[in-house]
A = this chain, B = another copy of it.
Amino acid sequence: MDIDKKIKAGDIRAASRLIRDIEDNIPEAKSTIKHIFPYTGNAQVVGITGSPGAGKSTIIDGLIETSRKKERTVGVLAVDPTSPFTGGATLGDRIRMQRHAEDPGVFIRSLATRGSLGGLSKAVGDAIHVMDAMGKDVILVETVGTGQQEVEIINYAHTVLVVLVPGMGDEIQAIKAGIMEIADIFVINKSDREGSGKLQRELMAMIEMSPIPPGSWRPPIQTIGNSFKPDDFQADIEKLADKVLEHYDFLVKNDLIGDRIRRKTMHELNEALRSNILEPVLKILVSTGELDRMIERLLTKESDPCTLAEEVARKYLQGCI
């Protein structure tokens, strides 16, 4: 059976291998991705973002549980160096995650976040496609940080959860600075901690004040209690899962899902163009030694980067400069 057919049939071994090949930038992976593309577009993609230690993995663990109870299949993609999936977190976390490892309805993979930004971003999109083509109903994508990467998740996800914890006073600063725009649902994790009420009030005030156009989605806040009280915790997670579905329904009912899909598609095309236009030029500059010669000219201040790049463009671009 061809690898694309295997992936469509949900073959875990074939899918794992393809994701690894995507990450390693193996040329064959490219052609497989082309073949599976028609099978994509059916999964609900949920981004889960927040600082290291905010408890994103615990929430994902809970969401897996809830989805499986409803017999929805789940893909999890960790793009977070501090995720238990990538080995960054404590042993306890990693062991807890293991309980899903035996469930054929759950497929968990992580992507290393090293290397070029653009490259990573493309790998994220492709890995989501693989899980989508496998037929996973929901794909949970875990990303970290307060930087650009976190904001990038909106390019892939239908729904974005921003996870906060009480007692990190500066969270609100980060939110004000750019996360606000991407959050579809705010999650206050470890909500039994001191400062939870304050964080909730501040968030509510912020949502109140933000210029949300009429008819748009207004991000709700879901608190999640201590994961050491499993019943309470899972009840909160179920409320969160309901909100995630509500958000998706809202997008569909209000004809907004098309905009999100278009944005995802646009982003993906951009990444493909980068990899097909810029990379071949770089490759030839390296193989001919031209790149080294350019570096020398820059080090001696004989030329500047922009002038050199313009020379390269004149040589290798046609019909558009």
Residue ranges of A at the interface with B (Cβ–Cβ < 8 Å): 30, 33-34, 37-38, 40-41, 51-53, 81-82, 86, 88-89, 113-114, 117-118, 120, 144-150, 152, 168-171, 173-174, 176-178, 261-262, 265-266, 268-278, 280-284, 291, 294-295, 298-299, 301, 304-310, 312-313, 315-321
Contact = CB atoms under 8 A, between A and B. Distances in A.
Contacts of A283: 320
26 contacts: A30-B306, A38-B301, A38-B304, A52-B173, A88-B176, A89-B173, A117-B152, A145-B146, A147-B149, A149-B149, A168-B168, A265-B295, A269-B291, A269-B305, A269-B308, A269-B309, A272-B305, A272-B306, A272-B309, A273-B281, A277-B281, A277-B309, A277-B313, A278-B278, A280-B317, A317-B318
A313 B146 contact: no
Contact of A82 (B34, B146, B278, B281): B146
**Copy number in this complex?**
2
A262 B318 contact: no
Given A34-B306, A277-B316, A282-B273, A261 B299 contact: yes
A170 B54 CA distance: 9
Given A265-B295, A295-B265, A299-B265, A272 B308 contact: yes
B316 A114 contact: no
A269 B294 contact: yes
Contacts of A298: 265, 268-269
A315 to B, nearest CB: 7
A82 B173 contact: yes
Nearest to A53: B170
Contacts of A276: 306, 309-310, 312-313
Nearest to A269: B305
Given A265-B295, A317-B318, 6 more contacts: A33-B306, A51-B170, A53-B169, A88-B177, A147-B148, A147-B150
